[in-house]
Amino acid sequence: MSDFDLDLRTVEEHIDEELDIEGSIVLGMLDGTTPSEEWFEAISKGNVLVLNVEGDVNELASSFARDVKESGGSLVHFRGFLIVTPPGVDVSTDRL
């Protein structure tokens, strides 16, 4: 056997530092009543939006979708919901 020294406490400390994630999952309704600035501000703070779409998703999201994409975020429409993520958070659609 080889001499291999692994300090798990040090590894755990670095993992905790690396995974210091800010933000929450925000549930809401995309029906035109919430100003687009509020949705974009939530994304800017690191939140993920899961919005129940009540109407035409293209029309309702058009006022903030470009800003989200330009900032590096993403939007995915899935089964009546719009999932909006901040930069660095991807939505995997591989299993669809």
Which of 83, 28, 24, 86 lies closest to 54 in space, CA to CA? 28
23-75 pLDDT tens trace: 899 999 999 999 999 999 999 999 999 999 999 999 999 999 999 999 999 99
Higher pLDDT, 48 or 22: 48
Which CATH superfamily, name and number, covers 23-85? SepF-like protein (3.30.110.150)
Say which DSSP state 34 is in: S
DSSP string, 37-92: HHHHHHHHTT-EEEEEE-S-HHHHHHHHHHHHHHTT-EEEEETTEEEEE-TT----
Is this structure's pTM higher than 0.85?
Answer: no
Q: What pLDDT shows up at residue 23?
A: 86
CA 54 to chain centroid, in Å, comes to 20
